[in-house]
Amino acid sequence: MAKYSMHILVCGGTGCRASESAAITKNFKKQIEENNLSNTVQVIETGCFGFCEKGPIVKIMPDNTFYVHVKPEDTKEIIAEHIIKGRKVPRLLYVDPSKKETIEDSKHMGFYRKQLRIALRNCGFIDPENIQEYIGREGYESLARCLTEMTPQDVIKIVKDSGLRGRGGAGFPTGLKWEFTSKYQADQKYVVCNADEGDPGAFMDRSILEGDPHSIIEAMAICGYSIGATKGLIYIRAEYPLAIKRLQIAIAQAREYGLLGKEILGTKFDFDIELKYGAGAFVCGEETALIHSMEGGRGEPTVKPPFPAESGYLGKPTNVNNVETFANIPVIIQKGGAWFRSIGTEKSPGTKVFALAGKINNVGLIEVPMGITLREVIYEIGGGIKDGKKFKAVQTGGPSGGCLAEKHLDTPIEFDTLVAAGSMMGSGGMIVLDEDDCMVSVAKFYLEFTVEESCGKCAPCRVGNKRMHETLGKICRGHGTMEDLELLQNMGRVIKDTALCGLGQTSPNPVLSSLDNFWDEYVEHVNEKKCRAGSCKELMQYFINPENCTGCTACARVCPVGAITGERKQPHTINPDLCIKCGACIEKCKFNAIFIQ
């Protein structure tokens, strides 16, 4: 039986594969056999190291040596020198560009990594159902320090100094919000955690609640102490049963340990948390609608002011923050505002969690410092576009955000730059689109979502979005005119200016930003009745190439509307007036004879 003492790890991520990592693996395997090392050295291909610009990457274990830009012809030298003689190959080691030092050990290479986990620090690390694991990771120490060593004003000052901005979307400074709420006098104040995550494709809040529920409980108690509240409420959608279950367990454990309840940690501070379930309406992410829903009313927004800080839940001063915002708080208290400010950018300090989805190789949850570019996120962390297709756009901010194009790839990601580019941070959904996605249809998809989710209270949102949606449908069906494009732009601007709440004010964004960035595609739909992505069914026509068609009749038999006719063993034809473009014939054809144009 083989007992391996050394392992050669070759990166098998898409980027490294494109630069011949497969050949490297093959060479290593072959040469290891030639050197009779098969019983002691094992070669293995891994997932992406997230360092694609320096690829292909080869890592040697157990000494953690990290080789970059390895070529297939380098394998001989690595085996002869490193594996056999134990001498590293200096020319392949990574040189730290800032210090001009060679880095040998990947353990000291944390800085090369594009991701930094603050909000996700315990996610995937501790057992979320065991409070002891959280305490073992310095959990509740920030709360204890706040209660025993700091005044509420001190706590607010740290949060203000950190420059933390609300991670729910709009990016309002968290410290300021706490300060406002702290200034209003009342017999009862509330801390609310907004866990009504509703953007399509976003699941960062769910993952934090499922993976590290105690961090939210601790942060809410800290907030309660600083603003003078003794009650916390978590508004969570009933569609998140696992998050709810883990929160219930965590709250019960915290009570048992005296970290929630009366006289926490032997001080005079009381704080407890209750869960409120929502039915999963997008508008309930808006804080006034959320509060109405918690009170048992309809989830409809009301005009601000008064802000919840003055009159919120049951008319009392209420501080509402998003899950990810809270997840940052214990670390900020632990390490200080200046530390947090040193990460990210001046105007948007810290990190942001994104849910990468769509046509990207490494779909998943990532946390990156603010200021990173879309290119780094998509190509280095995300591993590039699926199936080697061409990047077209990235949708950020969900239905309130917009579509950014190739020209924005080098834009740093922060609250203000994304808004300037016509999109927004939103809660952190990031959906990558490739050449097969039609921008008009994508805009229509998001608008459909807003039309469904609009509460119907104000006319601009209820009626305006509906009309915009109809106009987009008309364009997709090939009946659009240039006047329609102008109408979309005007109507979008009016809705933005006049809608009551955040949902309506941002709902035209996907349309407006795609009109800005993909104007040509809209014009093509209107003037040429053409959809370059081939996704608008009614603009497409199915044809049979007579040269490939063998007349096997398979397509004619599967066509549900009898649109395909022809003699046996003779090329068939499709009647465009009958064809419903279902695609059944293409699936059936074995000769690649049917095509779409």
**Of residues 32, 78, 118, 455, which one binds another protein by CB under 8 A?**
118
Q: Beta strand pairing status for 231-237 and 272-278? A: parallel
Of 47-76, binders to another protein (CB under 8 A) are 47-51, 59, 61-62, 64
**Least distance between another protein and beta carbon 387 (Å):** 14
How crowded is residue 47: how many other Cβ atoms within 10 Å of its Cβ?
11
Closer by beta carbon to another protein, 261 or else 534: 261
Of 362-381, binders to another protein (CB under 8 A) are 362-367, 381
What is the pattern of x (binds another protein, CB under 8 A) and - over residues 560-589? Answer: ------------------------------
∠ Cα 581 472 202 (to 5°): 90
Check if the beta carbon of residue 57 is closer than 8 Å to that of residue 71: no
Closer by beta carbon to another protein, 79 or else 208: 208
Closer by beta carbon to another protein, 89 or else 135: 135
How crowded is residue 93: how many other Cβ atoms within 10 Å of its Cβ?
16
**Least distance between another protein and beta carbon 575 (Å):** 43
Q: How far separated are the first and last CA of the chain, in Å rounded? A: 59
Q: Does position 389 bind another protein by CB under 8 A?
A: no
Segment near another protein (CB under 8 A), from 84-92, 186-194, 204-212, 301-309? 204-212
Segment near another protein (CB under 8 A), from 122-130, 155-163, 401-409, 416-424? 122-130
**Least distance between another protein and beta carbon 259 (Å):** 6
Closer by beta carbon to another protein, 132 or else 153: 132
**Least distance between another protein and beta carbon 137 (Å):** 8
**Least distance between another protein and beta carbon 339 (Å):** 7
Amino acid, single-letter form, for residue 101: E
∠ Cα 287 419 510 (to 5°): 80
State how far the Cα of 9 lies from the Cα of 401, in Å rounded to an integer: 40
Retrieve residue 572's tokens: 């068939």
State how far the Cα of 245 lies from the Cα of 242, in Å rounded to an integer: 5
The one-character DSSP state at 552 is -
Task: Tokens 């390490």: give the residue.
Answer: 335
Identify the CA nearest to 213 among candidates 232, 186, 226, 185: 232
Q: Does position 203 bind another protein by CB under 8 A?
A: yes
Q: Does position 212 bind another protein by CB under 8 A?
A: yes
Of 27-46, binders to another protein (CB under 8 A) are 42, 44-46
Q: How far is CA 433 from CA 135, 201, 355, 399, 472, in A?
A: 42, 13, 14, 15, 19
**Of residues 29, 114, 341, 389, which one binds another protein by CB under 8 A?**
114
Amino acid, single-letter form, for residue 158: I
Of 128-157, binders to another protein (CB under 8 A) are 128-130, 132-133, 135-136, 138-141, 144-145, 147-149
**Least distance between another protein and beta carbon 219 (Å):** 15
Of 460-489, binders to another protein (CB under 8 A) are none
Identify the CA nearest to 488 among candidates 543, 458, 526: 526
**Least distance between another protein and beta carbon 449 (Å):** 21
How crowded is residue 417: how many other Cβ atoms within 10 Å of its Cβ?
19
Check if the beta carbon of residue 501 is closer than 8 Å to that of residue 288: yes
Where in 247-376 does DSSP place strands (E)?
272-278, 318-322, 351-358, 364-369
∠ Cα 468 474 480 (to 5°): 100
Give the number of residues in contact with another protein, rule: CB under 8 A. Answer: 80
Closer by beta carbon to another protein, 179 or else 380: 380
**Least distance between another protein and beta carbon 265 (Å):** 6
**Least distance between another protein and beta carbon 570 (Å):** 47
Identify the CA nearest to 205 among candidates 170, 173, 247, 171: 247
Task: Tokens 């080869």: give the residue.
Answer: 58
Closer by beta carbon to another protein, 113 or else 477: 113
Q: Beta strand pairing status for 101-103 and 94-96? A: antiparallel
State how far the Cα of 12 lies from the Cα of 26, in Å rounded to an integer: 12
Of 237-276, binders to another protein (CB under 8 A) are 240, 242-243, 256-259, 265-266
Segment near another protein (CB under 8 A), from 227-235, 279-287, 361-369, 491-499? 361-369
**Least distance between another protein and beta carbon 368 (Å):** 9
Retrieve residue 123's tokens: 């996610």
Q: Does position 125 bind another protein by CB under 8 A?
A: yes
Retrieve residue 273's tokens: 């948390």
* 392, containing H or E segment: strand 391-396
**Least distance between another protein and beta carbon 427 (Å):** 16
Closer by beta carbon to another protein, 428 or else 492: 428
**Least distance between another protein and beta carbon 231 (Å):** 20
**Least distance between another protein and beta carbon 156 (Å):** 20
Closer by beta carbon to another protein, 136 or else 297: 136
Q: Does position 234 bind another protein by CB under 8 A?
A: no
Closer by beta carbon to another protein, 62 or else 86: 62
**Least distance between another protein and beta carbon 45 (Å):** 6
Of 529-548, binders to another protein (CB under 8 A) are none
Q: Which residues contact 169 (CB under 8 A, 6 or more apart)?
A: 285, 322, 397, 400, 424, 425, 426, 427, 502
* 133, containing H or E segment: helix 131-136
Q: Which residues contact 336 (CB under 8 A, 6 or more apart)?
A: 158, 161, 162
